[in-house]
């Protein structure tokens, strides 16, 4: 079989303005970026205000394994499958970060015959939104350090006299805004900035700092959660960058940098339209990761798609404890609209990897048994799938299990897994379908598409796990105990102090965004299957007043990945004809 980029290059694509026109967009709604991608103006939502909204399908998955479950393949495949059965459909996915593209995972455009095209445009820069988020974020960081430097250099009164502006008296030990970069750069996790030659201060004031990956920037979350440009501007103004010497929050508005940050992101707020290999319109917008951020594409993109298509297919990152939880508790509450159906992607080998019966270690060869029939491992791993189905059911939505078929999978074992699902009792409508979207495109996802249309006909009764009016502590408990099924939560002293502080400052009504490993339902990647008897340690909390949530770090979560010994960039190059090779 050809590589992803070869399949993509060998497919004849339709000009994006034709795709957009068929989807109901007018030329004035679009700003084309070449012939195969176009920015969509959010002003379209005014024009479409009276249109009824279609159904919102959120694709999630079992607990991910190093093998890859193919969630984006299934998302794109399902959209193509729905188009095959003549449904009006649009997909909404996130923009890939260059960190994973050059790191371990590679691209995030789907794969095989279920890709967003051209995949190399999607995977590299696209229309520059992540760069805009990075630039806006780092402008604020430069602005804080410069302000601290000038205020301390002139003295607070001297600063006011010189500038006519009030001194902010920022506590240099309490600058909470780190810098960001869209790369996996381990060496930037913990740094010292503002270093000087001995006796000099020309480089500012020395302090401990660090970089996160851009996907973890609060501005990325704001981009994904804003309902329009004015909302984005206001949210940016609310972002807390530091605290002053009295412990009062210093916001981007206080620093008078919020306007420039919003100006930097003025084009980023427009989703980018592309197409799947079969011409299904796809909106790409925002790129928060689901482990260290809220893990879902934007509310604006969903709203546009829902107004234009009968089915909007989107995905939440990682397993249903991760992106899907946040799709329901953060995104849906801010959008005022929950999903109508959850699709849980599972694979035979992924379930076996979740059985806990194999010794799987990153960078080591996989045991052969995982690719062969292994009933014991499949049964043991099934617990994980069952957990994710029940988890989605907690939110009151019907569930379709999509078994993403791989070439080595046997019919017998696929049938067995299907039966196992069908034999269980669930509290919601549950259906199961085999998907061959990777190898066959939409044709391979017709069974899945039919299952999804049936599920969407059953009445959904969406409810998030918590109400925003509950206290931060209650919300945290609820996500951990109901959302993960743990025994309880262990708050560090720091976390307790922070909870009290946020409450005192009036932030108790924010949502909760958990940063935890995606490799287990728990906080501990070694706990496989469906663990229950565990305590979730909360190390630290972070306030994201602009995004509208408090970010809780569970255990050892890294907000800046690193490059491995053999990163994906090694194979990337340009051939003699100027084509990109080695991207997958």
Binding positions for a copy of itself, 109-138, rule CB under 8 A: 124-125, 127-128, 131-132, 134-135, 138
Query: Residue 71, annotated ligand binder?
Result: yes
Q: Which two tokens stand for residue 35?
A: 């012939």
Query: Residue 251, annotated ligand binder?
Result: no
Q: Which two tokens stand for residue 546?
A: 């602009």
Query: Residue 68, annotated ligand binder?
Result: yes
Query: Residue 360, annotated ligand binder?
Result: no
**What are the backbone dihedrals phi and psi of residue 502, each rounded to the nearest 5 degrees, phi first?**
-60, -40
Tell me how many degrees the CA angle 440-444-448 measures, rounded to the nearest 5.
155
CA dihedral (554, 555, 561, 564) in degrees, to 10, reads -140
Per CB under 8 A, the list member of 84, 112, 116, 159 interacting with a copy of itself is 159
Whole-number minimum distance, CB 557 to a copy of itself, in Å?
13
Q: Does 142 help bind a copy of itself (rule: CB under 8 A)?
A: yes
Whole-number minimum distance, CB 170 to a copy of itself, in Å?
13
CB distance 241 to 252 below 8 Å: yes
User: Which residues on neighbouring strands pair with residue 344, listed in sequence order?
Assistant: 60, 401
407/578 with CB nearer a copy of itself: 578
Q: Does 139 help bind a copy of itself (rule: CB under 8 A)?
A: yes
Half-sphere exposure of 196 (CA within 13 A, CB side): 11
Binders in 193-212 for a copy of itself, by CB under 8 A? 193-197, 202-205, 208-209
Whole-number minimum distance, CB 139 to a copy of itself, in Å?
6
Q: Does 572 help bind a copy of itself (rule: CB under 8 A)?
A: yes
Distance (Å, whole) CA 222 – CA 217: 9
**What are the backbone dihedrals phi and psi of residue 125, each rounded to the nearest 5 degrees, phi first?**
70, -45
Query: Residue 163, annotated ligand binder?
Result: no
Query: Residue 367, annotated ligand binder?
Result: no
Per CB under 8 A, the list member of 16, 98, 290, 480 interacting with a copy of itself is 98
Stretch that binds a copy of itself, among 6-14, 227-235, 313-321, 496-504 (CB under 8 A): 227-235
Per CB under 8 A, the list member of 1, 146, 415, 500 interacting with a copy of itself is 146
Stretch that binds a copy of itself, among 79-87, 189-197, 334-342, 469-477 (CB under 8 A): 189-197
| Closest-CA residue to 260 (of 168, 137, 146) | 137
Size of the site for a copy of itself (CB under 8 A): 84
* Sheet containing 249-251: order of strands: 170-175, 240-244, 249-251
b/e string for 204-236 if b means 16 or more Cβ within 10 A?
bbeeebebbbbbbbbbbbbbbbbbebebbbebb
Per CB under 8 A, the list member of 33, 87, 314, 435 interacting with a copy of itself is 33
Q: Does 166 help bind a copy of itself (rule: CB under 8 A)?
A: no
Q: Does 583 help bind a copy of itself (rule: CB under 8 A)?
A: yes
Distance (Å, whole) CA 130 – CA 136: 10
Distance (Å, whole) CA 191 – CA 196: 14
| Closest-CA residue to 250 (of 240, 262, 259) | 240
Q: Does 363 help bind a copy of itself (rule: CB under 8 A)?
A: yes
Stretch that binds a copy of itself, among 183-191, 216-224, 372-380, 417-425 (CB under 8 A): 183-191
25/343 with CB nearer a copy of itself: 25
26/146 with CB nearer a copy of itself: 146
- Contact string (CB under 8 A) for a copy of itself, positions 260-279, x = contact: x-xxx-xx------------
Tally of CB atoms within 10 A around 24: 18
């Amino acid at each position: 079989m050809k590589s992803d980029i070869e399949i993509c290059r060998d497919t004849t694509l339709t000009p994006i303005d034709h795709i957009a026109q068929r989807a109901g967009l007018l030329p004035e709604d679009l700003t084309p970026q070449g012939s195969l991608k176009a920015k969509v103006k959010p002003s379209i939502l005014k024009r479409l205000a009276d249109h009824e909204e279609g159904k919102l399908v959120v694709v999630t998955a079992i607990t991910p394994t190093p093998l890859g479950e193919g969630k984006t393949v299934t998302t794109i495949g399902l959209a193509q499958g729905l188009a095959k059965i003549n449904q009006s459909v649009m997909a909404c996915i996130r923009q890939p970060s260059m960190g994973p593209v050059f790191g371990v995972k590679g691209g995030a455009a789907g794969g095989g015959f279920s890709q967003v095209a051209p995949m190399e445009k999607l995977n590299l820069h696209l229309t520059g939104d992540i760069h805009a988020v990075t630039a806006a974020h780092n402008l604020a960081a430069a602005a804080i350090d410069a302000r601290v430097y000038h205020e301390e250099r002139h003295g607070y009164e001297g600063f006011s006299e010189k500038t006519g502006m009030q001194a902010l008296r920022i506590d240099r030990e309490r600058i909470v805004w780190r810098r960001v970069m869209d790369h996996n750069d381990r060496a930037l996790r913990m740094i010292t900035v503002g270093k000087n030659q001995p006796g000099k201060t020309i480089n500012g004031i020395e302090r401990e700092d660090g970089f996160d990956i851009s996907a973890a920037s609060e501005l990325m979350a704001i981009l994904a959660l804003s309902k329009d440009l004015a909302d984005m501007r206001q949210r940016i103004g609310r972002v807390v960058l530091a605290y002053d010497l009295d412990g009062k929050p210093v916001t981007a508005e206080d620093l008078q940098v919020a306007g420039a940050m919003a100006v930097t992101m003025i084009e980023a707020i427009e989703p980018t339209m592309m197409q799947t290999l079969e011409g299904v319109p796809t909106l790409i917008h925002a790129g928060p990761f689901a482990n260290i951020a809220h893990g879902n594409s934007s509310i604006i993109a969903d709203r546009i798609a829902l107004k234009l298509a009968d089915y909007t297919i989107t995905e939440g990152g990682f397993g249903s404890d991760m992106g899907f939880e946040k799709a329901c508790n953060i995104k849906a509450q801010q959008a005022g609209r929950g999903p109508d159906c959850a699709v849980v992607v599972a694979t035979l080998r992924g379930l076996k990897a979740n059985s806990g019966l194999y010794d799987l270690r990153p960078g080591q060869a996989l045991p052969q048994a995982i690719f062969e029939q292994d009933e014991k491992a499949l049964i043991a791993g099934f617990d994980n799938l069952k957990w994710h189905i029940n988890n989605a059911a907690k939110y009151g939505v019907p569930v379709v299990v999509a078994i993403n078929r791989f070439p080595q999978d046997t019919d017998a074992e696929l049938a067995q897994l299907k039966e196992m699902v069908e034999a269980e009792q669930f509290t919601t409508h549950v259906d199961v379908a085999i998907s061959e979207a990777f190898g066959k495109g939409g044709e391979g996802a017709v069974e899945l598409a039919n299952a999804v249309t049936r599920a969407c006909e059953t009445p959904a009764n969406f409810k998030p796990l918590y109400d925003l009016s509950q206290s931060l502590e209650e919300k945290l408990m609820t996500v951990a105990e109901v959302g993960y099924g743990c025994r309880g939560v262990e708050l560090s002293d720091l976390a307790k102090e922070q909870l009290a502080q946020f409450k005192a400052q009036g932030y108790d009504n924010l949502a909760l965004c958990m940063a935890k490993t995606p490799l287990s339902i728990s906080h501990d990647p070694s706990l496989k299957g469906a663990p229950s008897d565990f305590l979730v340690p909360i190390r630290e909390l972070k306030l994201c007043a602009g995004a509208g949530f408090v970010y809780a770090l569970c255990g050892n979560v890294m907000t800046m990945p690193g490059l491995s010994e053999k990163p994906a960039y090694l194979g990337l190059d340009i051939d003699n004809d100027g084509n990109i090779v080695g991207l997958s």
